[in-house]
């Protein structure tokens, strides 16, 4: 089940379940929307210039995550799902534009496809699933 489909299955009572000390389920979705948008927005620059995106050369994402949290804190779950769908569609269009094979041939671009040892989106969906099991 993909991320968007998963979040669409949640009930109203699920959105306020704590996932971490800081975030509820809705906040995790906000976080994913922010990252999908960021990856989408930097893809063209990174692909054409060849530099790594800022998020590949740091281990501190607190400032970015806090900004995303504040930006989306008043969005409804449905609005966040719509935002995620929008950015996913734009990302997919950009992947088509540049060519998936060309992107995959570049080193260190697995972030475009959220792949690797522990995919970011999968990690957070699993956090939410565990939190909902324990509610």
Q: Report the domain count for the chain.
A: 1
State residue 107's pLDDT score: 62
User: How far does CA 46 lie from the centroid of its chain?
Assistant: 18
Q: What is the mean pLDDT of residues 109-134?
A: 91
| Tokens 């992947």 belong to residue | 95
pLDDT beyond 80 at 93: yes
What pLDDT digit, counting tens, does each position of 24-40 carry?
999 999 999 999 999 99
CATH number of the domain encompassing residue 70: 1.20.120.450
pLDDT at 1: 63
Angstrom distances, CA of residue 38 to CA of 45, 53, 64, 132: 12, 10, 10, 27
* Residue 72 vs residue 110, higher pLDDT: 72
Share of the chain above pLDDT 90, in %: 73
The phi and psi torsions of 18 (rounded to 5 degrees) equal -65, 135
pLDDT digits (tens, 9 = 90+) for 41-74: 999 888 778 778 889 888 899 999 999 999 999 9
Please give the model's pTM, rounded to 2 decimal places: 0.92
Range of the domain at 128: 3-133
């Amino acid at each position: 089940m993909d991320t968007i489909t998963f979040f669409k299955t949640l009930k109203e009572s699920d959105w306020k379940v704590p996932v971490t000390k800081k975030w509820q389920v809705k906040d995790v979705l906000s976080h994913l929307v922010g990252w999908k948008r960021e990856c989408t927005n930097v893809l063209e620059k990174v692909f054409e210039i060849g530099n790594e995106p800022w998020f590949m050369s740091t281990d501190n994402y607190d400032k970015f995550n806090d900004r995303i949290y504040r930006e989306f804190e008043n969005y409804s779950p449905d609005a966040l799902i719509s935002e995620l769908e929008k950015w996913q569609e734009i990302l997919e269009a950009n992947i088509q534009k540049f060519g998936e094979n060309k992107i995959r041939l570049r080193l260190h671009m697995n972030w475009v496809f959220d792949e690797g040892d522990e995919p970011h989106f999968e990690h957070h969906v699993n956090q939410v699933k565990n939190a909902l099991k324990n509610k």
